[in-house]
Chains A and B, each alone.
Chain A
């Protein structure tokens, strides 16, 4: 660690482009020119940590540096919006419990554990929301679940595993759910171990094919408000990965503003009462998607 000065340094257009492209190569997240100010502002505090006076040196650090992976972790956490909260877009989670689960249950072998993957789970609110809702869902009775979340940022995963949240995470949480599943602890709320122990977390770069190869097939994928950050090529690869990882008849749930229109025809659009989700057709062969 170097203790440098904290002067504001501006980022040239060229530096922005180099850093932006490197971030995209690393994790598929793409920023247009209009994000230059945001990238500059959020990465500026990293320069004094290394004693740098300009972004070119910082670019070289993340391109060649011994600990570049660690710094990318820092970058991703800073430049992505990790904003999430419990029971976000609750209508979709309700649809998962009331309509998707019965279908998945019907199609599965008896006695098999159902697997739910929260892809890009940030600080864990989404998979924990699913775990809390499964406690009450009638369709979940008698079933065993594996719920797991992944994110590219180790920092957000630390928060997820700790299960400690501030008030900002509860803007859509009822008092009843808060009281049932959390314990107030000073300025924060601690999630009950009963729920915390139901969710596993892992570090995973969604554009890293070799890391994704380790993931076993799943029944439901939640990937909400994640693909919007990706460049078209990475988005395409990710959709293909989702297709490969879903069991036939499994479901993909995207954010309310996201769709697979012009992206893939490998999924069926599956209308629900209050939502649209995507399903991998029954009988689809595992392996590469069309």
Chain B
């Protein structure tokens, strides 16, 4: 084994043990309050990332005293321990605005590296006070610090900063690097500069990457020629920026100018390959813009490339919009290329064909429906439903009997879609099949969805079929007929030996507002199957008899989650008195989803009850409950004392909930 390379020797068990001991010590220190701060500051420079991280978390939770802020800021100057420097920066960023004064004091230091780190942290904090501190240092003696200030302002500045940066761009004597940072910062701040301020720099290639976004935002058609030039002949990154900027430019122009700029772009069809090449970018923004610009060339042959490139990322909709803008002429090239692309692209191709195609493509779609991958074939079948006519019926009937469940479902849905346009023909065909003894669940589902009165008896008859799938399909079809379906047949089906048939029967019975249906549903709440009970309780949400309410109260406290959720849902609907006590108990359920549902009950409580209940929920152990409670407080415009919200905000680890709490704080402050 001499030629074996062990890539990473295992760390000594002793090292790992020592790391763990220090980590546990920091966790212990984090529980000791302000007295532990000196030791935590030492731990900030530990060799182990885990220990530093734990120390940073603990320090961020300490009150931001002047001495702590000064100590943290001082650690930004320690160049020989980058781990400590990063950890201190992380704590200061977490503390935010309160740390600005201490950081700003650091800008007076003679240490250039230190000033640069301070500037970066101020940029990260990004509050008004931080921006003001940065603006004060914009004339820093050191080139690198000045550039860092401009870059930080690009992340944090506002309108006032834009004006200041513009003014600096106009003055002479600014070196090239500074100018790059100025243009870049202005671009990131979303500045819209007039052509006159940008045109002096278009000949300077090193400025291109920073300048192009500003040209795109300029709203001036003269910028188009520069963007086209870079798009065609620039380096890869410049071309990527140019295409995004060109897309932004055409969005900002009026109709006539946009048409002129587009004409300028497509005047040379040879530019299309350059744009298509950008579809290979890893940046979704570039891909989306390239898809849009490629479509401007009105070449249907580009459609498969556009959709293939857009199929994987977040750009599917952008790709689809671009291709749809080319119109029906893309259908043939898309279908010609479909076998050569992967499954996601194939699905996207078919979505485009569904919107742009016509009945002429149905034979090709039916060929694709016989293909090997289920999802693309399912989509092909669905598109047959959208585009096909009566000539597709037999093929779909064949597919609805195929071995694959998803294809069978898709074929039934397609038959129903065609039935929407040719009701009598599709329904009659299905009726003949059922009457001839071919009683398949799909036929019954489709007949129910088509909903002809004359087929009702046929569907009712299927409730007694020997195949439970058919019985279930018939009962679910009953939902389409509503109260025209015999209630007693559904009630009888609550005794079916198959739980899923009984579940469907309970769901269908919910449509009947009769006392007999309520009695049947009440009886079904004793079913041994949880899902049947849940459906019955859901159905009882329309019945306010004391028995029903009693069953719902009991169900809301069930240990079975589906039962508890259904019962709470129905209680919200019925709104009987005394919901607060049910909510208080249900919110303690072991399953977060049940506890979350219990928060919904607050919608029916009085303002004072809801306020007490929801405010309590802000400290719940499940994040879904805290999140729902914060949203419910916002929805009901209940004001929570600011001190309580501040307390929750300090403890809340979830960003999503912190945002809701901050909105609540605004409501609270507005009220005060």
Contacts and interface: CB of A to CB of B under 8 A. Distances in A.
A41 B375 CA distance: 14
A38 B656 contact: no
B4 A270 contact: yes
- B contacts with A: majority SS: helix
A281 interface: yes
Interface stretch (B62-70, B334-342, B512-520, B661-669): B334-342
B582 interface: no
Nearest to A35: B314
B5 A269 contact: yes
B374 A159 contact: yes
A38 B442 CA distance: 31
Contact of A74 (B312, B346, B406): B406
Nearest to B654: A17
A128 B13 CA distance: 44
A18 interface: yes
A225 interface: no
B314 A38 contact: yes
A270 to B, nearest CB: 7
Given A60-B593, A187-B367, A123 B372 contact: yes
A151 to B, nearest CB: 13
B525 interface: no
A57 to B, nearest CB: 10
Contacts of A3: 412-413, 416, 445, 449
B286 to A, nearest CB: 16
Interface in A46-78: 49, 59-60, 63-64, 66, 74, 77-78
A265 B1 contact: no
B8 A262 contact: yes
Given A123-B372, A261-B7, A269-B6, A64 B344 contact: no
Contact of A271 (B5, B416, B562): B5
Nearest to A64: B562
A18 B593 CA distance: 10
B373 interface: yes
A77 B372 contact: no
A59 B370 CA distance: 31
A49 B314 contact: no
A90 to B, nearest CB: 18
B624 A14 contact: yes
B428 interface: no
A162 interface: yes
Interface in B310-348: 312-314, 316-317, 339-344, 346
Nearest to A265: B10
A15 B445 CA distance: 30
A168 interface: yes
Interface string A197-221: 0000000000000000000000000
Interface string B438-482: 000110010001000000000000000000000001001000000
A54 to B, nearest CB: 13
B7 A14 contact: no
A179 interface: no
Interface string A142-169: 0000000000000100110010111110
Nearest to A2: B476
Contacts of B370: 186
A265 B6 contact: yes
Contacts of A13: 656
Contact of A38 (B313, B375, B416, B476): B313
B372 A188 contact: yes
Contacts of B5: 268-271
A233 interface: no
A279 B1 CA distance: 11
Interface string B369-413: 011111100000000000000000000000000001010010011
A165 B624 contact: no
A167 B340 contact: yes
Contacts of A60: 562, 565, 593
Given A13-B656, A187-B368, A18 B413 contact: no
A35 B22 CA distance: 37
Q: Which of B3, B375, B503, B562 has the most CB atoms of chain A within a 10 A radius of its CB? A: B375
A192 to B, nearest CB: 16
Contacts of B344: 81, 83
Contacts of A188: 371-372
Interface string A7-36: 000000110011000000000000000100
Given A2-B476, A83-B342, A164 B6 contact: no
Nearest to B345: A168
A257 interface: no
A11 to B, nearest CB: 13
A261 B442 CA distance: 52
Nearest to B416: A3
B476 A159 contact: no
A14 B659 CA distance: 13
A222 B416 CA distance: 45
B500 interface: yes
Contacts of A271: 3, 5
Given A37-B314, A261-B7, A78 B656 contact: no
B500 A66 contact: yes
B8 A166 contact: no
A166 B339 contact: yes
B12 interface: no
B342 A168 contact: yes
Nearest to B408: A1
Nearest to A260: B7
Given A38-B313, A64-B561, A167-B339, A77 B8 contact: no
A37 to B, nearest CB: 4
B613 interface: no
A287 interface: no
A188 B453 CA distance: 44
Nearest to A190: B372
A111 interface: no
Interface in A246-290: 260-262, 265, 268-271, 279, 281-282, 290
A186 B375 contact: no
A138 B630 CA distance: 68
B485 interface: no
Contact of A78 (B7, B341, B375, B412): B375
Q: Which of A83, A168, A260 has the most CB atoms of chain B within a 10 A radius of its CB? A: A168
Contacts of A59: 593
B522 interface: no
A64 to B, nearest CB: 5
A38 B503 CA distance: 33
B312 A1 contact: no
A173 interface: no
Nearest to A67: B500
A236 interface: no
Given A64-B562, A77-B374, A166-B371, A1 B476 contact: yes
A159 B312 contact: no
Nearest to B499: A66
Contacts of B342: 83, 168
Please list the 4 inter-chain residue pairs (A to B) with the smallest Cβ-Cβ separation, ordered nearest first. A167-B339, A269-B7, A37-B314, A265-B10
19 contacts: A1-B473, A3-B416, A3-B445, A13-B656, A34-B314, A38-B314, A49-B409, A59-B593, A60-B593, A78-B375, A165-B372, A166-B340, A166-B371, A168-B343, A187-B367, A188-B371, A260-B7, A265-B10, A269-B5
Interface of A: 1-3, 13-14, 17-18, 34, 37-38, 41, 49, 59-60, 63-64, 66, 74, 77-78, 81-83, 123, 155, 158-159, 162, 164-168, 171, 186-188, 260-262, 265, 268-271, 279, 281-282, 290
Interface of B: 1, 3-10, 312-314, 316-317, 339-344, 346, 367-368, 370-375, 404, 406, 409, 412-413, 416, 441-442, 445, 449, 473, 476, 499-500, 503, 531, 561-562, 565, 593, 624, 627, 656
Given A14-B656, A38-B314, A168-B340, 10 more contacts: A13-B656, A14-B627, A66-B500, A158-B404, A188-B371, A188-B372, A261-B8, A265-B10, A268-B6, A271-B3
